[in-house]
Amino acid sequence: MLKTTTSSVDGREISDYLDIVVGEAILGANVFKDFFAGIRDIVGGRSGAYEKEMGKARKIAFSEMEEQARELGADGIVGIDIDYEVVGKEGGMMMVSVSGTAVKFK
């Protein structure tokens, strides 16, 4: 499925705007505990373990969004927005949310 953050696709004409589609994934507090316990993993200001978990959450969110688009019969998703939010008591969880517009191309 074609996915883009832009509102159009060069060389493709959108025939139908089907609906807004979304996907969300929340990382639990244990990820943060593991992250801080593994602080030694940080090299150059980055944590490979934390980035890996965020990548998993992003893949889950995109997969949910794509599944909704497929159910609508979409050929693609345009105008995708990716958001990261801290949620839960004392900011103990991180949410990855993606949204876009499911479309059909001519």
pLDDT in tens, 82-94: 999 888 777 678 8
pLDDT band at 97 (very low <50, low <70, confident <90, very high): very high
Express each pLDDT in 2-27 by its tens digit. 999 999 999 999 999 999 999 999 88
Nearest residue to 74 via CA among 101, 53, 56, 49: 101
Q: What was the pLDDT predicted at 103?
A: 98
Which whole number is the average pLDDT over 78-104?
A: 90
Give residue-wise pLDDT tens across range 45-73.
666 667 777 888 999 999 999 999 999 99
- Longest Cα–Cα distance in the chain: 52
Is residue 75 within 8 Å of residue 9, measured between CB atoms? Answer: no
